Structure 1
């Protein structure tokens, strides 16, 4: 999280206006009215604000103290400082949004993290996550990454008991990263 604390304003500026509506629309269309959403590693608070503006209730958190401050200012809600490994919710959320956040969890911790997130979801809850596309794991650009292919992501989510609704690849919307692909997945808790 040191990277995000040390580069919070630059990261905020580079991501807060990135338009990924083509991805979050697939998620919100599956949610009930007035859904309660857990925004995991919300970063700039970009989608937290979108979800609030759409009439949803949101609990947002991030592992970076500085990102929490910026996201709180941007969204108007209190963004909590915590790590996904430390969450402890049960049957609270209709949806979980983990866009470009779980990719920082080492692969040997991903299964236990997904089980905690599954516990946090209500029955029939919807979970959307994204990872950089590929098979790399390790340090890159000052951060730890676990990249996943569509197949590996689907296998991982199915292993912990989710039903896969959809997987797809998308391009990064930032011009300077147009060569970057993302693995996206939507699953349901049954």
Structure 2
């Protein structure tokens, strides 16, 4: 079984058991992200159980979620409780959206589930569906060894690695916050 299928399977199990772990969002990050937007159409990339989708919705943007786990998407629909918020099943490496669709993409602790060789593929897809004036928020873990932890695949990045990968993928990181073992970044298309 490849690492994506294994991670998806584990998230399906976690959704059914309600054992997933979420950390609270720093309200300042959501406020910063929404203040940078020039439009209201947002994709919560790797929406999981919908917690971030609901938070973004409360900030008045038109948000939709995407995740690879059908089970997490079912939980997200219940969490958000709004039939106008769409949730789509998809893979970060092949986003099921047209070009230039989103004003912002929120990828909170989601892209870190890709192997490092696949992150540039996902970023090319993000770049494709993000408008030229759009903003990408993404967060990553910086301390650890790449591999499976509790059945979920994680890749760990230094801030310097992320700078290099994002630049090669056609993004400029214009703001970066490093706290404890987490790197939060805001980027725009070059």
Is TM more than 0.5 here? yes
Match for residue 3 of structure 2?
none
Gaps of 5+ in 2: 1-7
Give 1:164 deviation, angstroms: 1.2
The one of 89, 94, 97 aligned to 1:81: 89
Match for residue 11 of structure 2?
4
Residues 40, 98 of structure 1: 8 Å contact kept: yes
Give 1:22 deviation, angstroms: 2.6
Match for residue 186 of structure 1?
186
Q: Once superposed, which parts of structure 1, at least 4 consecutive aligned residues long, lie more than 4 Å away?
A: none
The one of 48, 51, 57 aligned to 2:53: 48
DSSP 3-state at the match of 2:93: helix
Q: How big is the alpha-carbon RMSD for the aligned residues of Structure 1 and Structure 2? A: 1.6
The one of 40, 43, 61 aligned to 1:38: 43
TM-score normalised to the size of structure 1?
0.87
Question: Which runs of structure 2 are paired with 1:121-140 in the superposition (5 Å)?
Answer: 121-134=130-143, 136-140=145-149
Gaps of 5+ in 1: 172-180
Residues 150, 185 of structure 1: 8 Å contact kept: no
Distance 2:117 2:157 in 1: 13
Residue 163 of structure 2 is aligned to residue 154 of structure 1: yes
The count of residues paired between Structure 1 and Structure 2 equals 177
Distance 1:127 1:7 in 2: 27
Task: Name which of structure 1's ranges 20-29 and 67-76 shifts more when overlaid on structure 2.
Answer: 20-29
Match for residue 174 of structure 1?
none
TM-score normalised to the size of structure 2?
0.87
Residues 115, 154 of structure 2: 8 Å contact kept: yes
Residue 72 of structure 2 is aligned to residue 67 of structure 1: yes
Distance 2:107 2:113 in 1: 11
Match for residue 97 of structure 1?
106
